[in-house]
C-alpha cells in the first residue's frame, strides 16, 4: 500500500476577488518524485505557499503526512523541508556557517551534533571542499544545493522545491537531478517540484500534476501521460495540447 504524504482537498485560494487556486484536489504518495507543472502565473508558488503554511486557504484543506496544515501548522511542517523560490542566505557567511546558524534553530541537537549534521549534509549535496567559501561566490547551482542542504538539516520526509531549475545551466541541472534521485532512493524523501518546463522533470518524476490558471488539468503517472502520445513521446507536445484545449 502506498502511503499518502501530501493531500490537497478541494483547495481554493482567492486574492481579493481573484480565484488563484480553484477547487484543486490531488495526492502525492510517500516515495514519489512529483512534478508540479504549469505555465507562469498558473498558481504554483501560491499552492506551495499554502502547503508550507505561509498563507491560508480560502476554503478546502491541505495535509502533510496526514496532518492538517491549517489546523496544526507546526506539527505538519515537521516532516517538511521546503524551498520557496530561491533560497535566501546571508551571502557574506560561508556555506558552513550559514548552515550552522540554521541548525541552531533546531533545539533537538547540541553543538557537537549540529556540527556533525552540517558536515553530513554538506557531503550529501556535494559541497565538500567549498564549505569554507562565502556564499556570495557560489554559483547558482551551488546555492540551490546549499538550499537542499538546509532542508536536510531537519531530516525531512518531504522536500518541496519551487522552480529549482530556473537559471541553472545544463550541468547544474544534471547535478540537481542526480541529487534529487539520490535523496529519493537513499533517504526515501518524497519530492514535490514545480516547473513551467515539462521536459525538465520528465526524466526524474514518476508522477506529474499539471495545472492551468489555478485548476488541475491532469494528474497521474508520468508513464501514463507519455503513453498518450505514441508518436513523439514528448511531454512538451502533450503539455501544449493540454494548455490549448479547454
Ligand X SMILES: Nc1ncnc2c1ncn2[C@@H]1O[C@H](COP(=O)(O)OP(=O)(O)O)[C@@H](O)[C@H]1O
The interface partner of residue 155, options being Mg ion, ligand X, none and the CB cut-off 5 to 8 Å by kind, is none
Other C-beta atoms within 10 Å of 87: how many? 21
The interface partner of residue 62, options being Mg ion, ligand X, none and the CB cut-off 5 to 8 Å by kind, is none
The interface partner of residue 100, options being Mg ion, ligand X, none and the CB cut-off 5 to 8 Å by kind, is none
Provide, rounded to whole angstroms, the least separation between the CB of residue 209 and Mg ion.
14
Q: Using CA atoms, how far apart are residues 82 and 164, in angstroms rounded to an integer?
A: 11
| C-beta of 51 vs 148, nearer to ligand X | 51
**Strands, E assignment, 105-214:** 158-162, 190-195, 207-212
| C-beta of 15 vs 90, nearer to ligand X | 15
Nearest partner of 135 among 172, 178, 174, 92, judged by Cα: 92
The interface partner of residue 46, options being ligand X, Mg ion, none and the CB cut-off 5 to 8 Å by kind, is ligand X
Q: Is 166 in the site for Mg ion (CB under 5 A)?
A: no
Across the strands, what pairs with 15? 18
Instruction: Kindly identify the residues of this chain, within the stretch 17-56, that bind Mg ion according to CB under 5 A.
Output: 44-45
| C-beta of 44 vs 212, nearer to Mg ion | 44
| C-beta of 43 vs 141, nearer to Mg ion | 43
The interface partner of residue 37, options being Mg ion, ligand X, none and the CB cut-off 5 to 8 Å by kind, is none
| C-beta of 20 vs 152, nearer to ligand X | 20
Cβ–Cβ under 8 Å, residues 68 and 61: yes
Across the strands, what pairs with 14? 19
Nearest partner of 138 among 119, 125, 151, judged by Cα: 125
Nearest partner of 116 among 144, 152, 86, judged by Cα: 152
The interface partner of residue 15, options being ligand X, Mg ion, none and the CB cut-off 5 to 8 Å by kind, is ligand X
Tell me which residues touch ligand X (CB under 6 A).
15, 20, 38, 40-46
Q: Using CA atoms, how far apart are residues 87 and 76, in angstroms rounded to an integer?
A: 21
Nearest 10 degrees: Cα torsion 62, 66, 72, 78: -110
| C-beta of 44 vs 114, nearer to ligand X | 44
Cβ–Cβ under 8 Å, residues 6 and 51: yes
Provide, rounded to whole angstroms, the least separation between the CB of residue 36 and Mg ion.
10
Q: By CB under 5 A, how many residues form the interface with Mg ion?
A: 2
List interacting residues with Mg ion (CB under 5 A).
Answer: 44-45
Amino acid at each position: 500500500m502506498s502511503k499518502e504524504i501530501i493531500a490537497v482537498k478541494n483547495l481554493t485560494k482567492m486574492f481579493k476577488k481573484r480565484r488563484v487556486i480553484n477547487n484543486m484536489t490531488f495526492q502525492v504518495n510517500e516515495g514519489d518524485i512529483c512534478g508540479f507543472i504549469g505555465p507562469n502565473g498558473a498558481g504554483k508558488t501560491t499552492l506551495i505557499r499554502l502547503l508550507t503554511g505561509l498563507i491560508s486557504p480560502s476554503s478546502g484543506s491541505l495535509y502533510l503526512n496526514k496532518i492538517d496544515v491549517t489546523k496544526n501548522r507546526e506539527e505538519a511542517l515537521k516532516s517538511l523541508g521546503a524551498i520557496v523560490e530561491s533560497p535566501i542566505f546571508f551571502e557574506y557567511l560561508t556555506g558552513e556557517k550559514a548552515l550552522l546558524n540554521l541548525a541552531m534553530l533546531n533545539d533537538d541537537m547540541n553543538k557537537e551534533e549540529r556540527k556533525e549534521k552540517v558536515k553530513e549534509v554538506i557531503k550529501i549535496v556535494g559541497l565538500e571542499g567549498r564549505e569554507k567559501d562565502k556564499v556570495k561566490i557560489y554559483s547558482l547551482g551551488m546555492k540551490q544545493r546549499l538550499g537542499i542542504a538546509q532542508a536536510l538539516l531537519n531530516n525531512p520526509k518531504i522536500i518541496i522545491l519551487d522552480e529549482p531549475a530556473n537559471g541553472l545551466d545544463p550541468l547544474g541541472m544534471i547535478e540537481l537531478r542526480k541529487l534529487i534521485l539520490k535523496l529519493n532512493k537513499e533517504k526515501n524523501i518524497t519530492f514535490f517540484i514545480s516547473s513551467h518546463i515539462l521536459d525538465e522533470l520528465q526524466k526524474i518524476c514518476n508522477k506529474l500534476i499539471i495545472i492551468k490558471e489555478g485548476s488541475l488539468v491532469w494528474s497521474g503517472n508520468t508513464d501514463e501521460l507519455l503513453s498518450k502520445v505514441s508518436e513523439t513521446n514528448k511531454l512538451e507536445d502533450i503539455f501544449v495540447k493540454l494548455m490549448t484545449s479547454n
